[in-house]
């Protein structure tokens, strides 16, 4: 697949969709699971640390507070007592800051100071146990702050003036969470790999019938109308396969009927054309006699004879063209090549039809090419006849050998063929304009000329000229 392009195949889209769904589901489950474990783990660590701090503070027996508290005479509290209390609150992963009046004590190894305690937590710690998670030097910490309270002789709980701040390291919990993240990421990767494998296998099994349907459709389009597919199961693809088989059967039946009708039509045209040849031959002989005597007949009879002669001649040409077309339709047309002098062949074709003085030839002397002379004559006669009858002089015929093939151009200087008619001029029985319905042409000449050119392996094209129209015949070397 070209970089930067999205996959457009159904297989690619199915696999990507399946993997994306699996990735989304895996990430969602992993994320929710991680958050639940993280919350439970940190909450348990916070609760345990707070309970530990409370337990230590409740067990201290220092005479803290004022004279109306249970332990009066705060002056007897020494620095050693405060240091001992700070050490009792500390631990391997704890650092303690103890403040009593103007005195401040730190547990051994403490690297923090009161400046590291947020002001909000200081205010909250005066009335209750406050806690807050902090990230200090990229290390996670839980900060617990509280003021020590004692019950007075009157039964009222009053603050003693001692405030304790305990920094509890969450490094161990963060390590557990890191290992959990790694495990979840690995599990997600395994899930995606499994999903990709399942997607590839599933896409193959799902798309295999579709691929077979595509191959069968191409075979059907190539003409193999007996193509059928086995139907497996009762799902949608099985129903689609059955529908394809039914469609192919109906198409085969319809095409067979059309081919039979077409063959009957071709045989009918060929038989009628051949049957008409015999009476036409007799009629032509009679018209030859009438033509010789036309000058001795009355004017009206002479006109009638001329009309009959013209119509019989048109009918003769039409029958010959129908027979020629039927040969092409039945595949009986045969190409017999020989080395032909193109200039002489063109001159003979014009001379036979009496067009020598009406057409200008432009052919290099001695130009020869491998052609079927009879079929080449048919091509030239149809194109030049079309130019003479429907175009305007001067009509020119130019022949050249270019790039390994013979090119023959026939051009007239008439008003030209309308642009909307150009794509149809080689169709059978097509005539340009309603006014040409009774013209001498039958509408088969150009179609037969094109068929003869294609039998040579060549082509005929038409394009407007200024003025007139130009037909170009291209015949490659054999």
Query: What does the block give as tokens for 42?
Result: 């940190």
In the predicted structure, residue 100 carries a pLDDT above the cut 80: yes
Structure confidence at residue 71 as a pLDDT band (50, 70, 90): very low
Poorest-pLDDT segment among 51-60, 374-383, 436-445? 436-445
pLDDT in the model for residue 412: 93
Contact 20, 26 (CB under 8 A): no
Q: Which residues pair with 473 in a beta bridge?
A: 408, 460
Query: What does the block give as tokens for 294?
Result: 């036309």
Per-residue pLDDT, averaged over 305-328, amounts to 73
Taking only the tens place, the pLDDT of each residue in 342-362 is: 999 999 999 998 998 899 999
Q: Name the percent of the chain lying above pLDDT 70.
A: 85
Residue 171 CB: number of other CB atoms within 10 A? 12
pLDDT in the model for residue 257: 84
pLDDT in the model for residue 266: 66
Contact 394, 378 (CB under 8 A): no
Angle at CA of residue 86, ends 85 and 92, nearest 5°: 125
Q: Which of 471, 470, 468 is nearest to 413 (CA)?
A: 468
Residues 6+ apart with CB under 8 A from 153: 68, 69, 70
Phi and psi, residue 97, nearest 5°: -120, 120
Q: What is the 3-state secondary structure (H, E, C) of 387-410?
A: HHHHCCCCEEEEEEEECCEEEEEE
Phi and psi, residue 320, nearest 5°: -60, -40
Distance CA 72, CA 400 (A): 131
Poorest-pLDDT segment among 19-23, 34-38, 80-84, 262-266? 262-266
Tell me if residue 337 falls in helix, strand or coil: coil
Query: What does the block give as tokens for 9?
Result: 């195949």
Per-residue pLDDT, averaged over 295-322, amounts to 73
Q: Which of 16, 163, 156 is nearest to 86 (CA)?
A: 163
In the predicted structure, residue 422 carries a pLDDT above the cut 80: yes
The one-character DSSP state at 422 is G
Per-residue pLDDT, averaged over 178-188, amounts to 90
pLDDT in the model for residue 376: 93
pLDDT in the model for residue 129: 87
Structure confidence at residue 72 as a pLDDT band (50, 70, 90): very low
3-state helix, strand, coil in the chain (%, to 5): 55, 20, 25
Distance CA 394, CA 387 (A): 10
pLDDT in the model for residue 435: 45
Helices (H) and strands (E) in the chain, counts: 9, 12
More confident residue, 405 or 435: 405
DSSP string, 66-127: -TTBSS--GGG--HHHHHHHHHHH-BTTEEEEEEETTEEEE-TT----GGGS-HHHHHHHTT
Question: Can you tell me which residue has the tokens 């730190």?
Answer: 106
Q: Is 433 exposed, middle or buried (0-12, 13-18, 19+ CB in 10 A)?
A: exposed
DSSP string, 221-276: HTT-TT------SSSHHHHHHHHHHHHHHHHHHHHHHHHHHHHHHHHHHHHHHHHH
Taking only the tens place, the pLDDT of each residue in 213-224 is: 888 888 888 888
Distance CA 179, CA 188 (A): 14
Structure confidence at residue 437 as a pLDDT band (50, 70, 90): very low
Residues 6+ apart with CB under 8 A from 476: 404, 405, 456, 457, 458
In the predicted structure, residue 321 carries a pLDDT above the cut 80: no
In the predicted structure, residue 70 carries a pLDDT above the cut 80: no
Residues 6+ apart with CB under 8 A from 459: 450, 453, 473, 474
pLDDT in the model for residue 341: 93
Computed over every residue of the chain, the mean pLDDT equals 82
pLDDT in the model for residue 265: 67
In the predicted structure, residue 384 carries a pLDDT above the cut 90: yes
Per-residue pLDDT, averaged over 228-256, amounts to 85
More confident residue, 165 or 72: 165
pLDDT in the model for residue 441: 59
Poorest-pLDDT segment among 66-80, 173-187, 422-436? 66-80
Poorest-pLDDT segment among 3-12, 42-51, 394-403? 3-12
More confident residue, 153 or 305: 305
Tell me if residue 334 falls in helix, strand or coil: coil
Q: Which residues pair with 370 in a beta bridge?
A: 339
pLDDT in the model for residue 294: 66
Q: Which of 35, 1, 38 is nearest to 16 (CA)?
A: 1
pLDDT in the model for residue 474: 93
Tell me if residue 186 falls in helix, strand or coil: helix
More confident residue, 167 or 208: 167
Taking only the tens place, the pLDDT of each residue in 129-165 is: 888 988 888 889 999 898 887 766 666 777 777 888 9
Determine if the pTM surpasses 0.75: no
pLDDT in the model for residue 469: 93
Contact 169, 139 (CB under 8 A): yes
Tell me if residue 469 falls in helix, strand or coil: strand
Distance CA 384, CA 376 (A): 12
pLDDT in the model for residue 273: 64
């Amino acid at each position: 697949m070209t970089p930067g392009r999205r996959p457009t195949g159904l297989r690619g889209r199915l696999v990507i969709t399946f993997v994306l769904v699996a990735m989304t589901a895996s990430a969602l489950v992993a994320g929710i699971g991680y958050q639940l474990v993280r919350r439970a783990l940190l909450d348990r660590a916070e609760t345990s640390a707070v309970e530990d701090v409370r337990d230590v503070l409740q067990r201290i027996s220092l005479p803290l507070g004022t004279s109306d508290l249970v332990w009066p005479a705060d002056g007897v509290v020494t620095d050693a007592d405060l240091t001992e209390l700070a050490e009792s609150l500390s631990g391997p992963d704890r650092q303690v800051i103890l403040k009593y009046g103007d005195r401040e004590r730190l547990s051994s190894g403490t690297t923090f100071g009161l400046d590291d305690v947020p002001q909000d937590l200081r205010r909250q710690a005066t009335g209750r146990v406050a806690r807050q998670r902090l990230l200090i030097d990229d290390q996670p910490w839980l900060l617990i702050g509280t003021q020590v309270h004692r019950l007075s002789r009157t039964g009222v709980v009053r603050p003693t003036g001692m405030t304790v701040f305990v920094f509890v390291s969450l490094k161990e919990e963060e390590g557990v969470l890191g290992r959990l993240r790694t495990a979840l990421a690995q599990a997600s990767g395994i899930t995606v790999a499994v999903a990709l494998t399942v997607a590839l296998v599933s896409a193959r099994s799902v798309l295999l019938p579709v691929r077979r349907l595509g191959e069968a459709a191409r075979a059907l389009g190539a003409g193999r109308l007996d193509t059928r597919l086995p139907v497996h199961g009762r799902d949608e693809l099985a129903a689609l396969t059955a529908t394809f088989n039914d469609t192919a059967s109906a198409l085969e039946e319809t095409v067979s009927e059309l081919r039979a009708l077409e063959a009957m039509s071709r045989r009918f045209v060929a038989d009628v054309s051949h049957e008409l040849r015999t009476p036409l031959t007799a009629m032509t002989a009679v018209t030859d006699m009438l033509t010789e005597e036309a000058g001795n007949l009355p004017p009206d009879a002479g006109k009638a004879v001329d009309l009959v002669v013209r119509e019989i001649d048109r009918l003769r040409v039409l029958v010959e063209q129908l027979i020629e077309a039927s040969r092409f339709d039945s595949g009986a047309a045969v190409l017999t090549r020989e080395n032909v002098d193109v200039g002489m062949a063109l001159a003979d074709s014009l001379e036979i039809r009496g067009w020598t003085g009406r057409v200008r030839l432009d052919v290099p002397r001695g130009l020869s090419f491998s052609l079927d002379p009879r079929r080449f004559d048919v091509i030239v006669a149809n194109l030049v006849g079309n130019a003479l009858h429907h175009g305007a002089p001067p009509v020119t015929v130019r022949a050249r050998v270019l790039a390994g093939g013979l090119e023959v151009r026939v051009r007239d200087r008439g008003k030209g063929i309308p642009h909307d008619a150009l794509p149809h001029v080689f169709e059978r029985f097509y005539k340009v304009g309603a006014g040409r319905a009774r013209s001498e042409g039958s509408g088969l000449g150009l179609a037969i000329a094109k068929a003869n050119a294609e039998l040579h392996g060549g082509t005929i094209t038409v394009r407007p000229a200024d003025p007139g129209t130009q037909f170009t015949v291209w015949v490659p070397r054999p």
